[in-house]
Amino acid sequence: MFSTVTNGISRQINGAGAAVSGIFFDPVLRLGVTGLSRAGKTVFITGLVANLLDRGRMPQLRAEAEQRIDTVYLQPQPDDTLPRFAYEDHLAALTGDDPRWPASTRAVSELRLSFRVQPAGFVGALTGPRVLHVDIVDYPGEWLLDLALLDKSYAEWSEATLDRIAKRAEALEFLATARAEDGALALDEPRALALAASFTAYLHSARANGWSDCTPGRFLLPGDLAGSPVLTFAPLPKPAQTPRGSLWREMERRYDAYKSKVVKPFFRDHFARIDRQIVLVDVLGAIHQGPRALEDLRRTMAEVLSAFRPGSNRWLSGILGGKRVGKILFAATKADHLHHSQHPALTAIMQAMLREAQSRADFAGAETMALSLASLRTTVEESLTRDGSQLDAVRGRLLATGKQAAMYAGELPRDPARLLSPAREGATAWLDADFALMGFAPARSTLKAGEGPPHIRLDRAAEFLIGDRL
Ligand SMILES: Nc1nc2c(ncn2[C@@H]2O[C@H](COP(=O)(O)OP(=O)(O)OP(=O)(O)O)[C@@H](O)[C@H]2O)c(=O)[nH]1
Ligand SMILES: [Mg+2]
């Protein structure tokens, strides 16, 4: 009796499964990985994939703890026009004999990771193993900032940009060039190129000095668009007359082309297809740079996040057509610079930074979480005695000299407002504290069979992002 019933159920489930997902293809989850330049995207994807292939250090991934994961394997990705994420090269750099950090990324890339899992529970016992493909897409957060350009004309963008950078030392040279230019005069291509080059140079030095709002996004990461007209424009003061063929008119045309030929295709072809998202934020780096950098990061992150609030942009809601990112994880990276006793304070700062952006629309129902992680742990914890008191510190191999050193980053306040408020009020230095950071190199390590490279909380991140689908 019982067996006929279960047989019936199992046939039904098989039938339903085949009808829904089609027996010919397995479900796919697209995971977007983003963050501003140097936030830690490449190291994150490399560490995550290595630790999903060899899961010895992933106890918080539930399907792994329940021993339901049969195998995980890399597969050719489905998008023929996207470069593959160079996983093997990055892993070799991070874990070789002379471990080093991977080079900065030039373009969007993708990797397909496939899971063969035993489904959980009663139903699972009946249906047998199934396959889930996770397509990981690495793209710069700066490209999300470009969304704001869609609502702005060239004149509005020029004015806003010139205004915003007016007081920045990094922009002095560009501003002088731009002000000396008369946009009403006929276009002279070498002058246009020089303007764009000067603006790009400003963006690079602004980025290097810790400013986060470095847009248009492709100016920092041009890929194969380098030198093309869509990237040969810059903000200019608007002249009284803008005759046909003038520099101003041509810059306006190129700005519009950037929006329609670069910004829109990215959102349509890549962003609109993302199911889950992780946003990596180098909070520690900004704190180290000082209050101005932290405030700039907070404002920029709020802008990055507007891409995840359907309704913030009409054109975007139109192409999304009701589809939205279901889960968003905000991760403060490089947490291995801190002793674990300070991780809650770091997470709290990350959370507070997002609170404003979050409360505005709560991402229209997307589930969100914040945590601190290290994609590749380069340090071990150590207790230091300084002036008779104990300090929770970390020790690692210095990037600059290759020597071992212990570091104490400073005491992050338990109350995030102690940092965020002075930053918002325009303080130029932290009053009662100093935050040091040392650049650590990846540690030399010999990995045991079945274990990925050392990390902090990659398993928690993976559980949040894909655990419910395993
Ligand atoms: N200590 C430590 N440093 C990290 C970690 N992850 C990233 N870093 C540092 O941050 C730098 C940037 O990391 P990437 O992963 O290349 O950052 P990215 O976001 O891909 O950068 P771009 O491709 O240039 O936009 C690395 O070179 C490291 O110095 C980490 O887990 N621990
Ligand atoms: Mg990268």
Q: What is the pLDDT of residues 235-281, one digit of tens each?
A: 999 999 999 999 999 999 999 999 999 999 999 988 999 999 999 99
Phi, psi of 408 (to 5 degrees): -120, 115
- pLDDT number for residue 219: 92
What average pLDDT does the segment 137-146 reach? 91
Residue 15 pLDDT class (50, 70, 90 cuts): very low
Instruction: Average the pLDDT over each of 16-30, 75-89, 208-222, 451-465 and give the range with the smallest value.
Output: 16-30
What average pLDDT does the segment 81-100 reach? 91
- pLDDT number for residue 447: 82
Which positions ≥6 away from 264 have C-beta within 8 Å?
Answer: 150, 315
- Atom 13 of ligand 1, residue of closest alpha carbon: 40
**Span 397-422, pLDDT tens digits:** 999 898 999 998 888 999 999 999 99
- pLDDT number for residue 113: 96
The residue that leads in pLDDT, 233 or 312, is 233
In order, the DSSP letters of 133-187 are EEEEEE--THHHHGGGGGG--HHHHHHHHHHHHTT-GGGHHHHHHHHH--TTSBP
Q: How far is the CA of 334 from the centre of ligand 1 (A)?
A: 8
Closest ligand 1 atom to residue 285 Cα is 10
For the cut 60, the answer to whether the pLDDT of residue 203 exceeds it is yes
Q: What is the mean pLDDT of the chain?
A: 88
What average pLDDT does the segment 74-96 reach? 90
The residue that leads in pLDDT, 137 or 448, is 137
What average pLDDT does the segment 373-383 reach? 95
What average pLDDT does the segment 313-321 reach? 86
**Span 284-309, pLDDT tens digits:** 999 998 998 899 899 888 888 888 87
Closest ligand 1 atom to residue 138 Cα is 20
Instruction: Average the pLDDT over each of 62-71, 129-138, 240-249, 320-329 and give the range with the smallest value.
Output: 320-329
From 334, 372, 381, mutation site for ligand 1 pocket: most ligand atoms within 8 A of C-beta: 334
Q: How far is CA 181 from CA 36, 127, 189, 244, 410, in A?
A: 31, 70, 13, 17, 47
Q: How far is the CA of 102 from the centre of ligand 1 (A)?
A: 8
Please report the beta strands in 360-422, taking only residues with DSSP state E, as ranges in sequence order: 367-372, 379-386, 389-398, 404-407
Closest ligand 1 atom to residue 106 Cα is 23
Residue 87 pLDDT class (50, 70, 90 cuts): very high
**CB of 40 closer than 6 angstroms to any ligand 1 atom:** yes
Residue 61 pLDDT class (50, 70, 90 cuts): very high
Q: How far is CA 120 from CA 18, 23, 61, 126, in A?
A: 19, 20, 14, 10
- Atom 14 of ligand 1, residue of closest alpha carbon: 40
- Atom 1 of ligand 1, residue of closest alpha carbon: 334
**CB of 407 closer than 6 angstroms to any ligand 1 atom:** no
pTM for the whole structure: 0.89
Instruction: Average the pLDDT over each of 178-192, 208-222, 371-385, 447-461 and give the range with the smallest value.
Output: 208-222
**CB of 378 closer than 6 angstroms to any ligand 1 atom:** yes
For the cut 90, the answer to whether the pLDDT of residue 313 exceeds it is no
For the cut 90, the answer to whether the pLDDT of residue 49 exceeds it is yes
- pLDDT number for residue 10: 38
